[in-house]
Amino acid sequence: MSIFISYIFLGLSLAAPIGPINAAQLDKGIKNGFFHSWLIGLGSMAADIVYMLAVYFGVVHFLEIAFMKTFLWSFGSFVLLYTGVESLLSSKHISTTNWRNNSDSYTKTFFTGFFLSLSNPLTILFWLGIYGSVLAKTASEYDASHLFLYSSAIIIGLLLWDFTMAMVSSSFRKILTDRVLVLISFISGLSLVGFGIFFGYQACKILFKF
């Protein structure tokens, strides 16, 4: 049982570092409330599961090809810049009295989280390094059923973090003034744009070899 709990904490630690997903969850929670923020996290987790399966079946090495790296950095840059600019443009319209009228569709919100995570090469490296080593260790010591059990524990940890982020970000809506909400949303959008520029720079480094 203690091993299972330790893998839950591993899932929490994988989700906790500040990055595009946490910034997007914070932004959605402020603008649209708990459920939209959680859907961003669920979309991200769906992408995480895709990469977990990729590591498990060994196909993740295909993603290390220079062309694929360039494509992922470029696509990730586009998604982040689009989401960040959209967030910046809509941040000034935030109000504690009309926030529910500005909600995006649940499907769009889910796939925003999914593509933000799927197009993030850092996610690939993260899962290849962390989950790859966990997979190797677990496979050498336990059978397939334990491998599934401990992988599920990691997913539970991801779910707990996503739920917590959604609760925290949506709670800001209730306790902060409109001006502070606009500022936080603006900073979240700006951070997404910053990540987008960084991803674009990484794509150019590979493409032009500098």
Q: What's the pTM?
A: 0.73
Name the domain count of the chain: 1
Determine the pLDDT at residue 202: 86
Determine the pLDDT at residue 87: 76
Instruction: Write the CA distances from 149 to 7, 51, 143, 208, integer angstroms.
Output: 10, 17, 10, 44
Q: Whole domain around residue 45: which residue ranges?
A: 2-208
Q: Report the largest interatomic distance among the alpha carbons of the chain, rounded to a whole angstrom.
A: 56
Residues 6+ apart with CB under 8 A from 104: 32, 36, 112
Residue whose pair of structure tokens reads 């700006």 in the numeric block? 190
Angle at 165 between CA 32 and CA 10, to 5 degrees: 150
Encode the chain (210 residues) as per-residue pLDDT tens digits: 677 887 788 777 767 666 778 888 888 888 888 999 999 999 998 988 888 887 778 765 666 677 877 887 888 788 888 888 887 887 666 655 554 545 578 898 999 999 888 887 777 766 766 676 666 666 667 777 777 887 888 889 889 988 988 888 888 777 766 677 777 778 878 888 888 898 889 889 888 876
Determine the pLDDT at residue 130: 67
Determine the pLDDT at residue 110: 94
Say if residue 109 is exposed, middle or buried (CB neighbours under 10 Å; 0-12, 13-18, 19+).
buried
pLDDT digits (tens, 9 = 90+) for 16-65: 666 778 888 888 888 888 999 999 999 998 988 888 887 778 765 666 67
Determine the pLDDT at residue 114: 93
Determine the pLDDT at residue 43: 93
Instruction: Write the CA distances from 70 to 81, 199, 209, integer angstroms.
Output: 16, 10, 11
CA dihedral 190, 195, 197, 198 (to 10 degrees): 150
User: Cα(first)–Cα(last) distance of the chain, in Å?
Assistant: 49
DSSP state of 18: -
Hey, is 128 helix, strand or coil? helix
